[in-house]
Structure 1
Amino acid sequence: MPLGKLGFSSYQKCTAAIRMLAYGIPGNLVDEYVRMSEFTCLLSLYNFCKVVMAVFGPEYLRQPNAADTKRLLASNAVRGFSGMLGKINCSHNDINVLQRSPVFARLVEGHSPPVNFEINGHQYNKGYYLADGIYS
């Protein structure tokens, strides 16, 4: 219930949430910067993420469909990587990210999108992800 006091601004709340997401830091490291309690910082992060999921989820936080796969394959083929679904590099920080990825979980379970391409006369029926040396 309001007590006649002004609350924190949306700028403070968004700043706390974005700093925690951007730097991967807990709420108690942001509280002094935005002059809010750790609890309020965490609540702001929770609400920020809820809104991002509600607004962007239906288009960007869903499983790729056939049209997405077709677009990725066409875009990568123009770059000379026929059959490539995407790329992975060290910016993902850790192999744990890969192990928790729903994209790779579906691939491991055999639910990969149908992709047909030919390289050096050899036919392939599954797409691939271009990776650097850290990934096997």
Structure 2
Amino acid sequence: MTLDIMQSEEEEHEARIRMSAAYFHHRRQILNSISHHGGSTMNHRVVDRNREEVSSTFRMRRSQFLRIEEVVTAHDNYFTQRIDVVGVRGLSYLQKVTAALRMFAYGTAADAIDDYVRIGESTAIESLRKFVKATVEVFGAEYLRRPNPADVSRILNENER
């Protein structure tokens, strides 16, 4: 019976050692994921948003989206994808424009954009500001004006159909 107790104690001891090793391995992974100097803030934690695998699905006609994206990205180089000093690609123009459009069109909160577009809250807000400014500057004269009688007639006819 003492042999069984000794084996049981030894198994329990080994289980504790395995649990401790797993705990320390997990803690090491967490500490390694924290950058000691990431950008301008010391010990800033870098969040891997897996940006390169984001799918591009849209609720508007693709041609319409691409026209808006093309004009806005040509107007403001903020939407150009850059590579940082470490060689990591930044956000693509599609991610920035998509984030801005989702917040603008659907009222999506900036912090909820991360789940869909893999973009941080502050970057989503900045993308929206830049997008709205570029859109007004580029399309303002054509689309942001009072409708004339021809426009009103066309819109009423479309609504009747």
Q: Please report the TM-score for the alignment, with normalisation by the length of structure 2.
A: 0.39
Greater radius of gyration (CA): 2
Q: Which structure has the highest helix share of the two?
A: 2
Q: Which structure has the highest strand share of the two?
A: 1
